């Protein structure tokens, strides 16, 4: 699975959009980008995933560059409850590939 | 609330004790996972079960022994642990192995004295 690079920490003002970057320059054509987050003392929570098109759900938007070497997770109106560690994971999506390899992620702090 | 429950939420044990962690899901998922999260280290996958059969064991010491009696329940039996085994142990499930969304439980915070 391709390696990802994320900034260790970021701050964002409450109510503003939080934009979390992820570099995955060695991504291959059949690898998807997944985002999870982990709020303190809880298990990780799936947010969104995508291959090449931008994706949006009720939690967030995922913007993937055309060359797929980087992506941005956007939380459109951040709240204090969005304070968490956000993990960007790249891996092949196939049944039988069980592994989610979590890195160190980005610690996002929402400032009141 | 993800539909995956874990008990106990906190556990303190001595190095000679035997204890078990329990995970339960009633989501109808066929795959279940154990992860370990130590302080300041990334999550590490320990074991994967698919339809009650172990499909992955990531070089985990034998003092950790998983058991999956049915697709809704997963146990992690602990025996003669070391202080460095103190960590948050997380259970997860997904419809099939390889599904993009895994549902995690809240974890068991284990302290080994």
pLDDT in tens, A13-60: 999 999 999 999 999 888 899 999 999 888 999 999 999 989 999 999
Q: Is the CB of B2 less than 8 angstroms away from the CB of A102?
A: no
- Cβ neighbours of A29 (radius 10 Å): 8
How does pLDDT run across B44-76, given as a tens digit for each residue?
889 999 888 887 777 899 999 999 999 899 999
Q: Which residues pair with B20 in a beta bridge?
A: B77
Q: Is the CB of A96 less than 8 angstroms away from the CB of B33?
A: no
Map residue A82 onto helix, strand or coil. helix
Q: What Cα–Cα distance (Å) separates residue B76 from each residue in A60, A78, B12, B36? A: 34, 37, 15, 11
Say if CB B55 and CB B1 are below 8 A apart: no
Greater pLDDT, A27 or A91 = A27
Nearest CA in chain A to B105: A43
Q: Within A16-94, where are the H helices? A: none
Select the residue from A5, A46, A51, A98 to test the B interface by mutation, using most B Cβ atoms within 10 A. A98
- A96: contact with B, CB 8 A cutoff: yes
Count helices and strands in chain B by DSSP H and E runs: 0, 11
The three-point CA angle B101-B76-B112 to 5° equals 115
């Amino acid at each position: 699975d391709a390696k990802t690079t994320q900034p260790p920490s970021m701050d964002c003002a409450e109510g503003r959009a939080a934009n979390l970057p992820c570099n995955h320059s060695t991504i291959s054509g059949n690898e998807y980008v997944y985002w999870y987050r982990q709020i303190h003392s809880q298990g990780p929570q799936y947010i969104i995933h995508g291959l090449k098109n931008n994706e949006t759900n009720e939690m967030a938007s995922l913007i993937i560059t055309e060359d797929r070497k980087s992506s941005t997770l956007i939380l459109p109106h951040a709240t204090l409850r969005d304070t968490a560690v956000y993990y960007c994971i790249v891996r092949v999506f196939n049944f039988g590939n069980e592994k989610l390899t979590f890195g160190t992620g980005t610690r996002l702090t929402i400032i009141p | 609330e993800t539909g995956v429950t874990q008990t106990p939420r906190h556990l303190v044990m001595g190095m000679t004790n035997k204890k078990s962690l329990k995970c339960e899901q009633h989501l109808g998922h066929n795959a279940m996972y154990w992860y370990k999260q130590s302080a300041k280290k990334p999550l590490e996958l320990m074991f994967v079960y698919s339809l009650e059969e172990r499909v992955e064991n990531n070089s985990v010491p034998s003092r950790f022994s998983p058991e999956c009696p049915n697709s809704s329940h997963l146990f992690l039996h602990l025996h003669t642990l070391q202080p460095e085994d103190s960590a948050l142990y997380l259970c997860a499930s997904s419809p099939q192995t390889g599904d993009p969304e895994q549902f995690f439980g809240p974890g068991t915070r284990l302290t080994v004295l």
